[in-house]
C-alpha cells in the first residue's frame, strides 16, 4: 500500500465507472514510452531512477557543505530561477516551522534561507542586502549554463558583496556552485576560482531537479533530513512502477485529469489547507505547465490556498465557468494543534466549537468545500499525505513527477522540453541591446 492516498471518490458525477478502465491501453502505452525511452524527450528521464541512482560521494559532500554553512553563516542566499528555485523553496517551507526565517537563531539551528535571482526586481535585491546587513552569509548559485539573466545578475551582486566582505580567498569558501558537470560559464568560473561545485545531472530537467544537488543543498542547509527525503522518493519509485490502473494511484491521477480535460475541464487548481504548502503549488505549477503546455493544448495549472482563498476565489469556483477541476493536497495529521478556548459569553457564536481543535475545524472545512464544489459542478480529487516529514515529501514529489510524465504522453506531447520559454528571452535580449540581437532590437522597439 502506498504511503500517500489518492481519493477519486468525489468524481462519480463527472467520470463514469467504465472510463478509467478504458484508459488502460493508453496508459500502458504511455508507461512504455516513459520507462523504455521510446517517447519524445527520452534523454531527460534520469529523474525516474534518481532517488536510488544518485552520486553517493556527492551526496556526502552536500551534507558536509550544509554543516559548514550552518556553522559559519547566519544567512544562505540561494540564487536560481524556475526549477533551480521552486523545488528548494517548496521543501524548505514544507519541512520547517511556518515562520522559519523569522525565528531567533537559537531556535532555528540553521541559517535563514532566502532566494535571489528569481526576478530582476531592484527593490527585492536591495531589501535582501539590507536584511543581511553585516552578518555572515554564504551563496549557493544554481545555473546549468551560468548565463541565465536573472540569476547571473544576482550572482554578480552577491559575489561582489562577498569579495568586499571576506576578500577573494574568503569569498570562494562561501560560494557553492550547482551547475553542469563539464561546461558552461558558471562551471568555468567555479573551476577557475575554486568554488565547491555540485552537478546538475544531464538527464534531469530543471523542473524535475529538486531531488538532485539543485534542491538538496538548500534543503539540507535549512536543517532538514535529506536521507529521509530520498528514502521516501525511493519507496515511491518502487510503489509507482506497475502500469495497472487498479494498483497505481499516480497513474490514476494522470489518467483522470486527462479524462476531465477532454470533457472541457481545462484548468486544474492545486489546493491546500495549510500555508506551508503554498510553494508546493508553485513548484507543481512549473512541473505541470512547463511539461504539458505545448502545441496549443494542455491543462492550465493554477492554485488556491484555503480557507484563505475561499473568501476571494470561492465565489468563482462555486458558480463561475465550469472549466475548473480541483486537486487538494490534504495533510491528515497536522504537525501541531491548537484548541478553541472556552469563553464566558458567546458573542462570536463559537460556543459549539469550544474544546475542539483547529485541526478538526480545518478538516470539516475541507469536507464542506468538497461537497459544495462537487454539487456546484466542479470535479474534485484529493491527495492525502499523513504528515509533513521529509519521507512524506520525497514520496509526494515522486508521485507528482511520475504522474505528470505519464500525463504528458497521454496528451501526445513531449513532457520534458520547454521550447516556448525561449521566446521572451530572445525579445528581452534584443531590447536590452545584447550583442547579436541588434536587428531584432530595432524591430521590437519600433513596435513598442
Which residues have a catalytic role annotated? Answer: 290, 425
Element (H, E) at 320: none
* 198 burial level (CB within 10 Å; 0-12, 13-18, 19+): buried
Rama region for 82: left / alpha / beta (φ>0; ψ in -120 to 50; rest): left
Closest by CA to 63, choosing from 223, 233, 206, 235, is: 223
Within 8 A by CB and 6+ apart from 146, the residues are: 152, 179, 184, 185, 186, 187, 188, 189
Please name which of 408, 363, 396 lies closest in space to residue 284, comparing C-alpha atoms: 396
Which residue spans within 45-163 are E strands per DSSP? 75-79, 112-116, 137-142
Strands (E), 213-360: 267-272, 300-305, 324-331
d(CA 410, CA 339): 46
Closest CA to 288 of 391, 380, 407: 407
CB 8 within 8 A of CB 369: no
What are the angstrom distances between the C-alpha of 226 and each of 223, 229, 230, 237, 386? 9, 5, 6, 16, 18
Complete edge-to-edge strand list for the sheet that includes strand 175-179: 112-116, 75-79, 137-142, 175-179, 196-199
The number of beta carbons lying within 10 Å of the beta carbon of residue 285 is: 19
Q: Report the distance separating Cα 43 and Cα 203, nearest Å.
A: 6
Cell numbers 538548500 label which residue? 218
In this structure, the number of other CB atoms found within 10 A of the CB of residue 315 comes to 10
Instruction: Give all strands (DSSP E) within 306-389, no chain letters.
Output: 324-331, 380-385
Question: At 418, which helix (H) or strand (E)?
Answer: none
Round to whole Å and give the CA distance between 234 and 201. Answer: 17
Amino acid at each position: 500500500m502506498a504511503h500517500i492516498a489518492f481519493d477519486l471518490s468525489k468524481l462519480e458525477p463527472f467520470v463514469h465507472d467504465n472510463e478509467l478502465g478504458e484508459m488502460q491501453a493508453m496508459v500502458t502505452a504511455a508507461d512504455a514510452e516513459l520507462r523504455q525511452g521510446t517517447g519524445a524527450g527520452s534523454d531527460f528521464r534520469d529523474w525516474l531512477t534518481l532517488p536510488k541512482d544518485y552520486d553517493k560521494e556527492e551526496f556526502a559532500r552536500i551534507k558536509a557543505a550544509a554543516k559548514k554553512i550552518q556553522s559559519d553563516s547566519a544567512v544562505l542566499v540561494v540564487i536560481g530561477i524556475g526549477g533551480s528555485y521552486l523545488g528548494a523553496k517548496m521543501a524548505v517551507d514544507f519541512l520547517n516551522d511556518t515562520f522559519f526565517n523569522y525565528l531567533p537563531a537559537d531556535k532555528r539551528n540553521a541559517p535563514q534561507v532566502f532566494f535571489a535571482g528569481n526576478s530582476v526586481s531592484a527593490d527585492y535585491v536591495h531589501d535582501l542586502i539590507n536584511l543581511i546587513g553585516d552578518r555572515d552569509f554564504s551563496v549557493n548559485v544554481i545555473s546549468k549554463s551560468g548565463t541565465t539573466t536573472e540569476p547571473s545578475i544576482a550572482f554578480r551582486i552577491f559575489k561582489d558583496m562577498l569579495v568586499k566582505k571576506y576578500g577573494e580567498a574568503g569569498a570562494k569558501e562561501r560560494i557553492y556552485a550547482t551547475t553542469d558537470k563539464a561546461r558552461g560559464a558558471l562551471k568555468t568560473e567555479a573551476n577557475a576560482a575554486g568554488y565547491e561545485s555540485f552537478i546538475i545531472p544531464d538527464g534531469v530537467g530543471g523542473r524535475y531537479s529538486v531531488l538532485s544537488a539543485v534542491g538538496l543543498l538548500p534543503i539540507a542547509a535549512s536543517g532538514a533530513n535529506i536521507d529521509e527525503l530520498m528514502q521516501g522518493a525511493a519507496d515511491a519509485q518502487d510503489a509507482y512502477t506497475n502500469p495497472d490502473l487498479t494498483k497505481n494511484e499516480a497513474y490514476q491521477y494522470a489518467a483522470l485529469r486527462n479524462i476531465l480535460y477532454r470533457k472541457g475541464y481545462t484548468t486544474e487548481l492545486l489546493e491546500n489547507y495549510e500555508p506551508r504548502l503554498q510553494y508546493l503549488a508553485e513548484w507543481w505549477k512549473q512541473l505541470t505547465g512547463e511539461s504539458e503546455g505545448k502545441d496549443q493544448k494542455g491543462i492550465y495549472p493554477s492554485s488556491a490556498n484555503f480557507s484563505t482563498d475561499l473568501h476571494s476565489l470561492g465565489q468563482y469556483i462555486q458558480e463561475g465557468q465550469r472549466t475548473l477541476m480541483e486537486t487538494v493536497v490534504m495533510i491528515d495529521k497536522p504537525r501541531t494543534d491548537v484548541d478553541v478556548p472556552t469563553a464566558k459569553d458567546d458573542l462570536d457564536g463559537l460556543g459549539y466549537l469550544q474544546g475542539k481543535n483547529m485541526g478538526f475545524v480545518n478538516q470539516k472545512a475541507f469536507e464542506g468545500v468538497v461537497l459544495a464544489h462537487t454539487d456546484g459542478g466542479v470535479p474534485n480529487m484529493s491527495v492525502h499525505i499523513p504528515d509533513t516529514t521529509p519521507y512524506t515529501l520525497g514520496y509526494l514529489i515522486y508521485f507528482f513527477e511520475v504522474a505528470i510524465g505519464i500525463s504528458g504522453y497521454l496528451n501526445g506531447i513531449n513532457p520534458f522540453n520547454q521550447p516556448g520559454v525561449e521566446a521572451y528571452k530572445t525579445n528581452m535580449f534584443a531590447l536590452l541591446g545584447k550583442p547579436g540581437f541588434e536587428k531584432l532590437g530595432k524591430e521590437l522597439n519600433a513596435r513598442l
